Structure 1
Amino acid sequence: METWDALRSRRNVRQFTDEPVPDEALDRILEAGRRAPSASNWQPWDFVVVTDRAQLVELAKVWQGAQHVARAAAAIAIVAPEQEDDRRSTMLHYDLGQATYAMTVAAADLGVGTGHAAALDQEQARAVLGFPDGHFLAYLLSVGYPADRPLKVIEHLDRRPFDEVVHRGRW
């Protein structure tokens, strides 16, 4: 798939087939996250890949909106260092967003669906993933092949019109 098509095909997937995602595809998705830009090349992320069904079920308990993680072929946990000040925290979340989006586009390029989720229960996250003190689970990406329909370019996007969103020079 071409980059422009991958961008236009990416959507949040919440229902997955039982087909596993090959390690080579997972590695490519993870590499996209690793290559994402960050402030001063900080690279504040670590990625924990989960493919074990029992572990996915437990991981889905970190937030009420993460049930799709339990049914995915895999999940990528995006773990980051805790920050002491607002400026660093803002930079951190911007950088994590870039890594997350890079992974979703790379997955779409492979025909693999993703769904993002927040993480509220950090004790559950630490119990499942074993990340060290001073870190937290920032986001989750469920990963798998869409059960409803394959990824393809979305022709009629449910978004605000371009001319309503884009302002040139001034608002």
Structure 2
Amino acid sequence: MDVIEAISKRRSCRKFKDEPIPDEKVTALLEVARLAPSGGNIQPWRFVVVKSEETRNQLAQATPMPFVPKAPVVFVCCVDSQVFSPDTVGTRFHELKEAGAFLGTPLEEMRPEDYAKRRNSDPIAARAYLGLNAAIAIDHITLRAVELGLGTCWVMMFDQEKLKNILNIEERYHVIALLPVGIPQDVPGPRPRIPIKDVLLKEI
């Protein structure tokens, strides 16, 4: 299956077969998330993989979506606020520099400690930036899932604090989405999409 086929076949799946997902497939999904790109290579995504029936049932206390706990696996997708610490930002920058990522750019001559000072200190903008980067990793998961014969569904209706309490997630992490994963019970048809002429603002 090529990328365009995976994109075309991806659907939001809300009904799953009562069949377990092999560990190797769960690992395959985590691996494509790990390979996702991120700004400054900060790699902020972190995941809690919920497999046990007991814990999945507890998730019902934190989301109004009844299909979430019925999926055999639920990825609780988080971001780590500590990736913005000066040491971590500097380390990631140094790694990119050593890999030759900045050749031919002004960043080639910049020191890691100076790069780390450039970060936007606005907490709202920082949270949005982390979420944007993590969304790339989550989308990698949704597309790889299609290739593996699995269905997923982005769920953003949940109670942050209840989730953290149920899963014992530290304060430094922020949950941005729930991603139930399983074998689709049926294959939904394509959803309506606006035409390219409405997507393209202009060509200049």
User: Which TM class, normalised by the smaller chain length?
Assistant: 0.7 to 0.9
Q: What does residue 43 of structure 1 align with?
A: 43
Quick check: 1:28 aligned with 2:28? Answer: yes
- What is the deviation of 1:119? 4.9
Range with bigger deviation, 50-59 or 13-22: 50-59
Larger Rg: 2
Q: Deviations over 1:29-79 (max 9, x none)?
A: 111111111110001121111111121121233232x32211101000112
How far, CA to CA, are the matches of 1:168 and 1:28 in structure 2? 39
Contact 1:48 1:77 in 2 (8 A): yes
Q: What does residue 92 of structure 2 align with?
A: none
Structure 2 unaligned spans of 5+: 85-121
Quick check: 1:160 aligned with 2:194? Answer: yes
Secondary structure of 1:160's aligned partner: coil
The AA in structure 1 aligned to 2:49 is V
Quick check: 1:60 aligned with 2:60? Answer: yes
Quick check: 1:169 aligned with 2:191? Answer: no
Quick check: 1:142 aligned with 2:180? Answer: yes
Question: Given the two structures, how large is their TM-score scaled by the length of structure 2?
Answer: 0.74
- What is the deviation of 1:24? 0.9
- What is the deviation of 1:157? 4.4
Contact 1:16 1:144 in 2 (8 A): yes
Question: Given the two structures, how large is their TM-score scaled by the length of structure 1?
Answer: 0.87
How far, CA to CA, are the matches of 2:128 and 2:160 in structure 1? 19
Range with bigger deviation, 86-95 or 40-49: 86-95
Q: What does residue 18 of structure 2 align with?
A: 18
* Number of corresponding residues: 165
More strand by percentage: 1
How far, CA to CA, are the matches of 1:60 and 1:6 in structure 2? 30
Q: Deviations over 1:74-98 (max 9, x none)?
A: 0001122358612212211111111
Q: What does residue 128 of structure 2 align with?
A: 90
Structure 1 vs Structure 2: percent identity of aligned residues? 31
The AA in structure 1 aligned to 2:176 is A
Structure 1 unaligned spans of 5+: none
Q: What does residue 137 of structure 2 align with?
A: 99
Q: 1:71 to 1:120 in 2, by over 3 A?
A: closer
Contact 1:79 1:135 in 2 (8 A): yes
Q: CA RMSD in A?
A: 1.9
Contact 1:47 1:76 in 2 (8 A): yes
Range with bigger deviation, 85-94 or 22-31: 85-94
The AA in structure 2 aligned to 1:38 is S
- What is the deviation of 1:21? 1.1
Q: What does residue 146 of structure 2 align with?
A: 108
Contact 1:16 1:72 in 2 (8 A): yes
